[in-house]
Structure 1
Amino acid sequence: MRKYPERVTASMFRVYHDNEALLLRHNTSIHFGESTEQMGMVIMTNPGSFELKKTAEWTSYKNGTSEGNTFEVNDYADLTMRNIIKLIKLSFEGHSEPSGILRIYNLSNIRQPLGSKAEIYHYRAKQAISNEALTLLEDPITHSQKSFLEECNKSRFVIMGFVDKVFEEKMRRVMEWSEYIKERRVCAVDNKGRYSHPRRWITEPLLMGKAVESLRAVLQV
C-alpha cells in the first residue's frame, strides 16, 4: 500500500522558446477520498521539479519529443505535495479524515526546478504563448484581488509558502490580499519572517510543526 495514495490531477501545456520545450502546469488538484467538494487550497511559487515518474509518456513529453503540446496528469504526489499531504493528515489526526479536493495555485505555472531561473523561464514562456492562453501561465488569482478572495472563500483553509526572492512583487501582493482571509490562512513562518515553502518542512521539522499548529488553529481542532 502506498504511503501517499492520494491522486494528483493536473493539465500540462508545452511551448517552445529558442528550441527548448517549456512546460506549464495548471488546473492542479490533490484528491482526498472521493468527495468533489473543495476542501482547501495552496499557493506556492511555481511547479519546480514536478515529475510524473509513474507515467510512461512523461519523459518524451518533458523532452519535447512527443506529439501534441497538451498532457493530462493523473498520478501521485511529488515531494512537495507529499509534504502538504503529511501536514493535512497530521492536522486532522484524531478528529476526522480529510475529504475533498485541495487546489494548487502558483505565482507562476512554469515548471523550472531552479528557483533562481524561474522568473527567466516565466518570461521566456510569456514571449512564446498567445495572449488568449496567458492564464495557463499566470493564474488569475495572482493578478486580481477579487479572483483571489473569491477562490479563497471557497476553501476551509488556504496554505501559503514561497521560495525566497522569487516573484517577489507577486508574492507581496497575494500576502497583502491574504490579510482579508487571515482566519483561513495557514503558514509556517521561519526565523526571518518568511512564509516557508512546503519543501522545507521535512528537512526542518520545526517548520512542519508550525504549519500543523497553524492549520489546527484554522480547523479549530
Structure 2
Amino acid sequence: MAKRLFDIVAAATALIVLGPIILLAAVGVRLSSKGPAFYCPHRIGRGGKRFTLFKLRTMHVDHGGNASVVTGATDARVFAFGNMLRKLKLDELPQLWNILKGDMSVVGPRPEDPKIVELHYDELGWETLAVRPGLAGVSSIYNYTHGERMLTGPNPEQIYVRELLPIKLALEVVYLRNASLVYDAKLILRTVAAIGQIVSGRTEFADPPEMPEARTLLAASSVALQRAA
C-alpha cells in the first residue's frame, strides 16, 4: 500500500512538473520524423497481463523491413532527435501515465515485449512478473550503462536474448528478494546519477553491486536446467 501511494504521488507530481518537457519533446518528434509523437507498444506486466506502454517515438515509422523488437547500438531506425531523447531517457517519461493507471510502478523490473516473454523467459523471468514493472530499476540502469553498447552487429535481438536478458532478469530477482522503499529510493538516485554521468560523457561503469548475487542465481539456474535435462 505504501509503495502504491508513493507511486501515485510521485507520478502525479512528476507529470505536473515535467508535462511541459514531454509536450515540447512530442512537438520535436513530430517535426523530426513523419508519424505520431507517441509510440504505444504492448508489454507484459504483473501476473503476465498485457498492457499498453506509452513512450515518445524515437524511430522512423518506416522501419525498412527491420522488425526486431530490440534496438541495436547503431540502429538505423532511430532518428537524430529520437537518439537524443533516448540518451536523456526523456522518451520514457510518458510512462508516468502508466504508473498512475496502475500498470507500472516507479521502481520495478522493466516490462518486456510479449514475444521476448513467450519465447525466452525462464524461471527467473517469470519470478519478475510477480510485481508491477517499473520505470526505473536495477536492470534498467545496467542496460543503460552496460547493455546498450553490447547490442551490435546484424542481429542485436539474438545478442540480447542470449547475453543481456539473463543478466537483466537475474538482477531484477535480486531486487525483488531485497525490495524495500529505501532500496527503491536508492535506485531512483542511481538512475539519475547514471543519466547525468552518461550525458557528461562517461562511457565506462563498474558492475552494479547486485551483480555477484545475480551471477550466483544464474549459475544455480543453469545447474537446475542441466539436471532437468
Smaller-chain TM-score bracket = under 0.3
Higher percent of residues as helix: 2
Structure with greater strand share of residues: 1
The normalised TM-score by structure 1 is 0.27
Higher relative contact order structure (alpha carbons within 8 Å, sequence separation ≥ 6)? 1
